[in-house]
């Protein structure tokens, strides 16, 4: 791959070296090639790696038999990208497992960030915003989501930060790219974006021991009026939710506000995926449902940091999972979905949107 972007990481589980040597069998079988740092690593890992070829064939067979709900079809997924040694990495960089995160008391207790913590999160958010804007600038017909992933990855590592999704529970890429009927967790691949698509770019960054999370949905070329309506309402409902974020607001109220607005506009709020606490951990308390009449506990307090990220569907609120990749969530009826997300800090007088758009951010395709 282009040296300006970087290199891939060695496929061997206990190796984190940059890799350019491709598996010849992967190439021969027309699979997305695995990469290794040298022949020794390749030979050592071969007994395990050769089972990957069979798994890939099985996955292709599952794709062929899968009953897709909409017109979108997945492309090939390239190997995991390399992160330089000097960059501080989360626990899942090699293992793929957020074990300590799941054991943390912060899964049940919402912590209040110190002034020092808050400044680190602002620094992290600045990188996240820059990375998302870089990805946004690349969105156009003919560009693949894999190319956008490389752009975002490069921006993040060039700022000495780590892309939080990379190898989180085995996720292979540095951001999520959700196209058309994909609600969330779409995996970047080699499918070119097409005129009329909508695409959500979801960026998360780990820097100075803290995570930040943000996303936006963009138009690809000229889109239908119904897609414009969907995206605009997804953006507006997030803004309405942010307006009530202040000390004393109940977390359950966020969903009440979002669902009221969205239902009045004939759209639906996904009920499976929620906002979450963010900070020292990628995902933690509080849990913030985006639908009404939820029972989320707790009140907002100064120093709380969390995401709000409503996923708005044209049709049903229901979703299904692409079982052949166990990540991609799509609408159950194949209609489109749009999403916007910010990381929020509760202050004494209200809230601060840590991941707010900047004057230099590429403009959205609708008036805000």
- 194 labelled ligand-binding: no
| DSSP label at residue 315 | S
- 61 labelled ligand-binding: no
What tokens appear for 105 in the block? 């008391």
Quick one: 291 exposed, middle or buried, by C-beta within 10 A (0-12, 13-18, 19+)?
A: buried
Are the C-beta atoms of 315 and 207 separated by less than 8 Å? Answer: no
- 283 labelled ligand-binding: yes
Contacts of 175 (CB under 8 A, 6+ apart): 131, 135, 148, 149, 152, 153, 163, 165, 188, 201, 202, 203, 204
Contacts of 115 (CB under 8 A, 6+ apart): none
H/E segment holding residue 25: helix 24-28
What tokens appear for 88 in the block? 């501080």
- 276 labelled ligand-binding: yes
Contacts of 213 (CB under 8 A, 6+ apart): 128, 164, 202, 203, 204, 278, 282, 307, 309, 341, 343, 355
Cβ atoms < 10 Å from Cβ of 57: 12
- 202 labelled ligand-binding: yes
- 53 labelled ligand-binding: no
- 116 labelled ligand-binding: no
Rounded to an integer, what distance in angstroms lies between the CA atom of residue 114 and that of residue 112? 7
Are the C-beta atoms of 51 and 25 separated by less than 8 Å? Answer: no
Extract the annotated binding site for Zn(2+): 202, 213, 276, 309, 341
**Known binding positions:** 185, 202, 213, 276, 283, 309, 341
Residue positions forming the annotated binding site for a protein: 185, 283
């Amino acid at each position: 791959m282009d040296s300006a972007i970087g290199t891939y990481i060695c496929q061997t589980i206990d190796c984190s070296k940059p890799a350019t040597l491709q598996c010849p069998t992967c190439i021969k079988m027309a699979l997305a090639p695995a990469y290794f740092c040298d022949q020794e690593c390749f030979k050592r890992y071969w007994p395990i790696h050769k089972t990957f070829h069979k798994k890939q064939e099985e996955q292709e067979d599952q794709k062929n038999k899968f009953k897709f709900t909409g017109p979108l079809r997945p492309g090939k997924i390239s190997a995991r990208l390399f992160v330089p040694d000097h960059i501080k990495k989360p626990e899942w960089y090699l293992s793929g497992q957020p074990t300590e995160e799941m054991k943390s008391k912060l899964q049940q207790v919402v912590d209040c960030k110190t002034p020092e913590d808050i400044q680190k999160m602002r620094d992290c958010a600045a990188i996240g915003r820059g990375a998302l804007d870089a990805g946004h600038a690349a969105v156009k017909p003919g560009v693949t989501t894999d190319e956008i992933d490389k752009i975002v990855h490069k921006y993040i590592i060039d700022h000495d930060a780590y892309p939080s999704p990379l190898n989180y529970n085995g996720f292979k890429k540095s951001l999520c790219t959700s196209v058309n009927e994909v609600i969330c967790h779409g995996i970047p691949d080699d499918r070119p974006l097409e005129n009329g698509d909508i695409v959500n770019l979801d960026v998360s960054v780990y820097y100075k021991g803290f995570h930040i999370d943000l996303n936006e949905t963009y138009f690809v070329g000229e889109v239908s009026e119904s897609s414009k309506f969907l995206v605009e309402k997804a953006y507006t409902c997030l803004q309405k939710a942010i307006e009530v974020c202040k000390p004393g607001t109940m977390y359950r109220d966020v969903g009440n506000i979002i669902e009221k607005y969205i239902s009045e506009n004939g759209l639906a709020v996904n009920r499976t995926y929620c906002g979450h606490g963010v900070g020292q951990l990628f995902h933690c308390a509080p849990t913030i449902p985006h639908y009404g009449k939820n029972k989320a506990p707790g009140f907002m307090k100064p120093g709380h940091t969390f995401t709000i990220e409503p996923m708005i569907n044209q049709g049903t609120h229901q979703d299904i999972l692409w079982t052949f990749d166990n990540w991609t969530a799509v609408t159950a009826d194949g209609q489109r979905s749009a999403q916007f997300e910010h990381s929020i800090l509760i202050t004494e007088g209200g809230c601060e949107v840590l991941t707010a758009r900047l004057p230099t951010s590429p403009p959205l395709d609708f008036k805000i």
